[in-house]
A and B are shown apart, each in its own frame.
Chain A
């Protein structure tokens, strides 16, 4: 009994003592595309160079996550594109001009910088030689060449405001337009397998390929100018930070953006290094970045990852076991509980995170960044099912004669639960916790989507940059941690389960 109490107290302490302190200084965030991360680095380093402290929460999961975090004051600034503001954030308002957008933002206490100089628009691209030969300058010109082979990214092909709308606007006659992976399309364009593809005007590949971007003469594509957004109160809190962000207005040309992207995507520089180089050579700022050693990075990520695991798994154990007991005792309620826990498992990670942000924010907890409660709650929810399920199974498979013996002795329900049923179900429950722990280590990589870092961070970066080494820097430690946990649980199974149930006590099977 005393031992149990000690274990419970230690576990609870482990679960609720936070190790990450909220970041100090100006909090810059960026979304998970390379362009955004580079802009985030440019902002962070410029502010630091101006003498204000700044931190960068990189590659967060999506526009909604970042914009809402800005609105709530969990971050101070982030790079955005005007088109995204019009099409996603203020889609319902139907804003047409940047001034309208600026006005709407001001009402939300947000400032929008002037354009930084480049835009990230959709465009259609052809090889320059072919375009010249066929005298194609504009998208309208394409209509005269119905035999050109068009290949579009799946996203653009399928969006209602993508290819179907474009085709209608320009009366394009092309048949059999198919979807294709974006990187692959570049290679096919180069090798003359296809003739026309959709591009983003900041694509790094454009810096190397000799292509012509066709004029959007009917103004079909919305304009995506790069800007910074920041909170109106930034000026009073960190006056230097606001002027630093302003100093980047009109400084980054279309070509700068492509080259910065190319530098990072080719693996020649990290976002921080590329940004620093740009600031030194073009703005003559005295900036320096030091990349920590790989070992130090892995150590830091391990700490962050374990933080997510312990702070989600342990509370899950304390909630799931009672839920499992309840489910086993009240079968109808049990179906409801198991059903709900099962549904949670089917929600994709990003969707679950986005769903959780509002309630987490409502309680005034930090939704993003180190120790993000959003990530912890998501992991907590994902961890429930295996434990609840195994608790139910463990209780349900207790042989009926043992139930009846306990009843016939005249023990109270409470005593039966604590001293008979739970110990008998403990191997199954522990197996459930083991499963949950191993799954949790894998799921915890989703923490990177909300800035909680951990092993998910290099994985996310590696996927974005198509860099296997980087992916492995996250995946291998995650796998090792999962295996270690598995081994630890096997030790527990061998030594902590009630003797007489575990494999330790030899059975003297025999009826005599």
Chain B
């Protein structure tokens, strides 16, 4: 379980996360949604310790994330970002095998784990010997996911992993992701600004605005019982062809 308690973060005096509290239950898929700039990525980055909140606390399984506990906690979290964050000088296999190499796993163990994950992510072994820029965007994201899952982490954090993909590829990957999330039963926090995607993947959806939580619930809750005008506008804008009203 991951919990944020009254966390606040400012960038250049501008409040990006505003005394926000949220719990992510174990084994569930949580989606953070909201307009661009509302603080979704910052929230994820707080959990992996790339951003330190000015106030409040981040707890991982009840343990506060501090500089001392950070490294251990990071290895229990898989983190995937929009462009994958793959290292261009390493092949897909080397990217995926980076942590095992660092931790000194026997080669056999690494190979075996990579085999498992290749199947899970619907990649082929031949693709693993390519460099990231020789892979398509969708393949890159699958490799990223492999790398994130390598140490069999307790939690998986994905920050708009499909932001840059074509609709067709995106649909495929969405379907595969849903299967993976369901099979693995990990705590998943998934950031998107696409309501349909959120509804498709999520057990719980959290709608954010200006660094605060507007509403939490299922897709059905959001559509049928929007908490306020903004929530109503947001869902309406995502549903139909009406012009998007800026918040």
Contact = CB atoms under 8 A, between A and B. Distances in A.
Interface string B143-169: 000010000000000000000111011
A508 B133 contact: yes
Contact of B133 (A405, A409, A412, A500): A500
Contact of B87 (A402, A404, A415): A402
Contacts of B125: none
B55 interface: no
A508 B131 CA distance: 10
B89 A512 contact: no
A343 interface: no
A402 B87 CA distance: 7
A409 B148 CA distance: 8
A507 interface: yes
Interface in A461-512: 498-501, 505-512
Q: Chain A interface: which size bin?
A: 20 to 34
A512 B131 CA distance: 16
B89 A501 contact: yes
A512 B88 contact: no
B244 interface: no
A411 B136 contact: no
Contacts of A410: 71-72, 74-75, 99
Contacts of A501: 88-89
A401 B85 contact: yes
A25 interface: no
Given A405-B81, A410-B71, A500 B98 contact: no
Interface in A400-429: 401-402, 404-412, 415, 419-420, 423-424, 426
A410 B60 CA distance: 15
B132 A500 contact: yes
A290 to B, nearest CB: 57
B121 interface: no
Contact of A511 (B87, B89, B134, B166): B166
A419 B87 CA distance: 10
A487 to B, nearest CB: 24
B133 A415 contact: no
Nearest to A500: B131
Contacts of B165: 511-512
A500 B89 contact: yes
Interface string B76-107: 01010101011111110000001100100000
B137 A408 contact: no
Contacts of A500: 88-91, 131-134
Contacts of B89: 423-424, 426, 498-501
B53 interface: no
A255 to B, nearest CB: 73
B50 interface: yes
Nearest to A498: B89
Nearest to B150: A409
Contacts of B164: 511
A506 B134 contact: yes
A505 B74 contact: no
Contacts of A506: 134
Nearest to A416: B102
Contact of B136 (A401, A402, A511): A511
B85 A402 contact: yes
B120 interface: no
A365 B147 CA distance: 54
Nearest to B168: A512
A426 B98 CA distance: 19
A425 to B, nearest CB: 10
Contacts of A508: 133-136
> Which 10 A/B pairs are nearest by Cβ-Cβ distance?
A405-B85, A500-B131, A410-B74, A498-B89, A511-B137, A410-B75, A408-B79, A507-B133, A423-B89, A408-B48
Interface of B: 45, 48-50, 71-72, 74-75, 77, 79, 81, 83, 85-91, 98-99, 102, 131-138, 147, 164-166, 168-169
Given A405-B86, A499-B131, A508-B134, 16 more contacts: A401-B85, A404-B81, A405-B87, A407-B49, A408-B50, A410-B72, A415-B102, A420-B87, A499-B89, A500-B134, A507-B133, A508-B135, A511-B138, A511-B164, A512-B138, A512-B169
Interface of A: 401-402, 404-412, 415, 419-420, 423-424, 426, 498-501, 505-512
16 contacts: A405-B81, A407-B48, A408-B77, A410-B72, A411-B98, A419-B102, A423-B89, A500-B88, A501-B88, A510-B136, A511-B138, A511-B164, A511-B169, A512-B136, A512-B138, A512-B165
